[in-house]
A and B are shown apart, each in its own frame.
Chain A
Amino acid sequence: QKEVEQDPGPLSVPEGAIVSLNCTYSNSAFQYFMWYRQYSRKGPELLMYTYSSGNKEDGRFTAQVDKSSKYISLFIRDSQPSDSATYLCAMSDSGGYNKLIFGAGTRLAVHP
């Protein structure tokens, strides 16, 4: 079993839809949770970062962490065609912040 599970999709939604992207994990020591966005033929870039449990909002994006269920989510409101990308969840424990464990990535397509 992988430490981090992420549905690869693809997920196709109409413009304006609310998108929910999710990851589950098995290591209860994970404390830092990140979402990276990767456009086609580009490297990933950090989108959201959350420490421990709770919610974090940044514009149209909301990251949620539920440590009791070992489940993290990224919500995108009012999705735009420019949101079309692969979204990678990543996480680490306190001992190795830079030693991230990545999910496989979910490919999202937002069509006009």
Chain B
Amino acid sequence: DVKVTQSSRYLVKRTGEKVFLECVQDMDHENMFWYRQDPGLGLRLIYFSYDVKMKEKGDIPEGYSVSREKKERFSLILESASTNQTSMYLCASSLTSGPEGGELFFGEGSRLTVL
């Protein structure tokens, strides 16, 4: 089974702190994604990566950055956390970018609260 592991399930941070959310997948998938999930808004794509050291902005990249130094690891960084970044963050991976093998496998999520 594909496993996508998000290291922190629950975090509480203060405004202005730098926050790292880590995600590791164990199936040699090419693509990795970071989404945030908010009530009434569904999942929104923050950043994604098709290869090591490669990143592309999603729909809501403002206030976030990412790092992919190794194929299996994709990190989401909040340089200076703000209260409007309180949310559930979901990491996902997929084998390919097409319909065959393009299924997203999600981690269990990291719930971030910024005070």
Contacts and interface: CB of A to CB of B under 8 A. Distances in A.
A32 interface: yes
Contact of A44 (B98, B99, B106): B106
Interface stretch (B38-46, B60-68, B70-78): B38-46
Contacts of B104: 36, 44, 46, 98, 100
Interface in B93-112: 94, 97-99, 102-109
Chain B, interface size category, equals 20 to 34
Interface string A84-102: 0000101000000111101
A104 B42 contact: yes
A43 B31 contact: no
A88 B43 contact: yes
A44 B43 contact: yes
A23 to B, nearest CB: 10
A32 B99 contact: yes
B98 A103 contact: no
Nearest to B32: A98
B48 interface: yes
A110 to B, nearest CB: 21
Interface string B18-59: 000000000000010100000111111100100000000010
B42 A103 contact: yes
Contacts of A46: 103-104
Interface of A: 4, 6, 8, 32, 36, 41-46, 49, 51, 88, 90, 97-100, 102-105
Interface of B: 4, 31, 33, 39-45, 48, 58, 90, 92, 94, 97-99, 102-109
Given A36-B104, A100-B43, 7 more contacts: A43-B92, A44-B90, A46-B104, A98-B33, A98-B94, A99-B45, A99-B48
